Structure 1
């Protein structure tokens, strides 16, 4: 990849886990009542056909990782577990009270924070509480994020018995200097131990998360991390760019200096080096910054054109309705987004008053829904089309005009009713999506909002 292309297109841009992106949500037109109506509509349309998804945010961590931009609460006091689970189950009961029938759950993802902060008994209490009011879909897919330093055999076994078959472990990088900078000291043998435990128990999809662009990270570090990863042979990998956003309040990204971060061509070389090594070891690139063995469901979904992307990341199956439970969690009815308060104390207070802890959201209009579909196509299939008139929108010609320069750089192919991202254009998917982002084009941000695209 040429240095000039990286310098040209490495600009701040969204990651497109949603469209519109959160900074462009219209909170004036949103209300909790509108969200409830949207939830009920989507539930009626989807529950009996495909089931629904749950994302459950478990925010507690014992220590602060300085690379992390997630919503979390740092504590070593594990007495917080029970109160939080009671609150999440209360929130779930409110949603079930709005539903027209007993929910059928196709997907669950436990994210954080650190889900394995919670004891195995409390994780069991949480999941059993969810299913006291719901049923499991026949082909369900349950997953959770595990911290290699504190995930126990008992947690893995108990969640397996509850129906979980996918687990992802946060690795980031194995270099000691990098680990110290990001405050994530994590020996290789800890990752190996939990990976082998998961395989022994019977998990069918084990994932590792690796980050490039971390402070002090070198090509040698990436090679070492990928080689160690290959020795454990996880089924899938998230190999993604470090999103440096220190201006976001409370995200903790202040443990190192800007000068310590690899930038531009240096940073991208870290990714290309890792990507080539993964390819040599049987991993296939799926979507943006994800890789999977041919035996994994993520590869099969990508190969069959069934890959989906939402706030939980890439998924091998799709549900129309995703409910986010827990502090800061985001829900998606397809027609609307709703986000819970990020303040734990307010989360508890609202639920004690029998209120959903939703504090903001966005109702998608017709244009939003069309653009959302195009961006999903680009991020999942690397192409999109408007052969169907339902996918045409008034500003399409302006979008195609904005893509001309990327076409001249051989990053996209523009046809009469379709655009296709070239292999050379895949690293610039976010830039290509930005051409479709009408909210962003109509109002450029005046302050720092997004991480760099490349």
Structure 2
């Protein structure tokens, strides 16, 4: 990759798991009443045809991983499990009360935190209770995030019994110095054992998360991690850049200095090497930072042009309504977003009092909806077009003008009302999306909000 391009385009920018991005939500015009209405509208339009998705945030971890930007609570007290799950089920009942028909569930994803902090029995209890009053979509997909150090055979079996077929393991890096810096000590054998167990039990998709740009991480460390991954050949790999945002995430990301992080040029070299190795191994790059074997559903959804991106990252299918349950979870009705309170105690108090625990949100206007489609197209399919009237917007000429320099640099092409990101431009997809982000363009931040794009 051309180093001057890295230097030129390495600026803070969103990862576009939503549009508008969270810092640009208009909370002043958001109300719980309007949010509920957007949920019922979306549900009425899509429940029968595609069903809904559920994301459940399980925030507890036994130790702090210093690279992590997720909402979590560090504790070794496992008596917190059942009271928290009871609160999640109460929140689910609050949503069921406002939905006009029986729910059809298409997707469930357990994230965190560390979902496998919870006992197999309690996780099984959670899912059984969630599904007690609903129907299942014909091709439903249930997945969870597992920590290789504590995902047991009992966890895998219990979740498979209630419909789970996919597990994602957080690997990050196998280098000892990197693992020490990020406080995530997990030998390769632990990952190997967890991957093997999942396959033996019958999971059809095993994913590994690998991060580049971590403190003290060399190019050789990335190479070694991917070569070790080759021994296990997970069905899909999330290979993404570490987001260093200590001003947002607090002390968790201050266990090392910024000088300990690889330079932007080194990060791109890490990415380029990793991409080449993964492609040699038979993986296909999906969107911005995912890779999948051709036998995996994520690749098949890309080929069928059904790939979707939301707050869970890339998914193999789209539902218009995604309900987030649990502390800090974000829900998406397509017409609006809502985020739950980030305090466990406040969350539990609200749901115990019969109140949806939402503390902020955004209702999309017509322009937002059009721009959201363009940004989703770019993030999922590396192209967008404006042939149809429903994808036209007033400031399109200004957006195209902003893209002129990137076009001249060979990052994209524009012909016949279609924008196509080139292979050269693929690492800069976030920068290209920023040209369409009118809320960002109209109100550029005076302080740093986002991680670097490169």
| TM-score, length of structure 2 as denominator length | 0.99
**Which residue matches 1:388?**
388
Deviation at 1:251, TM superposition (A): 6.1
Deviation at 1:303, TM superposition (A): 1.7
Question: For 1:43 and 1:286, how far apart are their aligned partners in 2?
Answer: 29
**Which residue matches 1:334?**
334
**Which residue matches 2:135?**
135
**Which residue matches 2:222?**
222
**Which residue matches 2:287?**
287
**Which residue matches 1:4?**
4
**Which residue matches 1:312?**
312
**Which residue matches 2:189?**
189
| Unaligned runs of at least 5 residues, structure 2 | none
**Which string of whole-angstrom CA distances, capped at 9 and with x for unpartnered residues, describes residues 324-362 of structure 1?**
000000000000000000011110111111000001000
8 Å CA contact retained: 1:71, 1:251: no
Q: Does 1:266 align with 2:270?
A: no
**Which residue matches 1:45?**
45
8 Å CA contact retained: 2:209, 2:237: yes
The DSSP-based 3-state class of the residue aligned with 2:206 is strand
Tell me which moved more, 297-306 or 175-184: 297-306
Deviation at 1:213, TM superposition (A): 0.1
8 Å CA contact retained: 1:69, 1:251: no
Aligned positions of 1:145-294 closer than 5 A: 145-250=145-250, 252-294=252-294
**Which residue matches 2:365?**
365
| Unaligned runs of at least 5 residues, structure 1 | none
Question: For 1:401 and 1:250, how far apart are their aligned partners in 2?
Answer: 38
Residues 83 and 251 (structure 1), Cα distance of their counterparts in 2 relative to 1, 3 Å cut? farther
**Which residue matches 1:401?**
401
8 Å CA contact retained: 2:65, 2:184: yes
8 Å CA contact retained: 1:93, 1:133: no
**Which string of whole-angstrom CA distances, capped at 9 and with x for unpartnered residues, describes residues 339-388 of structure 1?**
00001111011111100000100000000000000000000000000000
Deviation at 1:132, TM superposition (A): 1.3
Question: For 1:142 and 1:155, how far apart are their aligned partners in 2?
Answer: 14
**Which residue matches 2:423?**
423
- Where does structure 1 differ by over 3 angstroms across 4 or more consecutive aligned residues? none
Residues 251 and 110 (structure 1), Cα distance of their counterparts in 2 relative to 1, 3 Å cut? farther
Q: Does 1:15 align with 2:15?
A: yes
Question: For 2:236 and 2:341, how far apart are their aligned partners in 1?
Answer: 32
Deviation at 1:264, TM superposition (A): 1.3
8 Å CA contact retained: 1:243, 1:451: yes
Q: Does 1:84 align with 2:97?
A: no
| TM-score, length of structure 1 as denominator length | 0.99
**Which string of whole-angstrom CA distances, capped at 9 and with x for unpartnered residues, describes residues 287-331 of structure 1?**
011000010000111122111000111111110000000000000
Question: For 1:251 and 1:169, how far apart are their aligned partners in 2?
Answer: 24
Question: For 2:250 and 2:441, how far apart are their aligned partners in 1?
Answer: 28
Q: Figure out how many residues of one structure are paired with residues of the other and give that number.
A: 454
8 Å CA contact retained: 2:283, 2:291: yes
Question: For 2:402 and 2:182, how far apart are their aligned partners in 1?
Answer: 38
The DSSP-based 3-state class of the residue aligned with 1:295 is coil
**Which residue matches 1:71?**
71
Question: For 1:202 and 1:131, how far apart are their aligned partners in 2?
Answer: 21
The DSSP-based 3-state class of the residue aligned with 1:247 is helix
8 Å CA contact retained: 2:69, 2:249: no
Aligned positions of 1:53-68 closer than 5 A: 53-68=53-68
The DSSP-based 3-state class of the residue aligned with 1:252 is helix
**Which residue matches 2:103?**
103
Deviation at 1:233, TM superposition (A): 0.8
Deviation at 1:138, TM superposition (A): 1.2
**Which string of whole-angstrom CA distances, capped at 9 and with x for unpartnered residues, describes residues 383-415 of structure 1?**
000000110000000000000000000001011
Deviation at 1:416, TM superposition (A): 3.2
Question: For 1:94 and 1:60, how far apart are their aligned partners in 2?
Answer: 23
Question: For 1:249 and 1:145, how far apart are their aligned partners in 2?
Answer: 21
Question: For 1:447 and 1:282, how far apart are their aligned partners in 2?
Answer: 42
Question: For 1:277 and 1:63, how far apart are their aligned partners in 2?
Answer: 32
Deviation at 1:250, TM superposition (A): 3.6
Superposition RMSD in Å: 0.7
The DSSP-based 3-state class of the residue aligned with 1:248 is helix
**Which string of whole-angstrom CA distances, capped at 9 and with x for unpartnered residues, describes residues 237-291 of structure 1?**
0000000000014461011111100011111101111111101110110101100
8 Å CA contact retained: 1:167, 1:205: yes
Question: For 2:389 and 2:352, how far apart are their aligned partners in 1?
Answer: 48
Deviation at 1:444, TM superposition (A): 0.5
Residues 436 and 109 (structure 1), Cα distance of their counterparts in 2 relative to 1, 3 Å cut? same
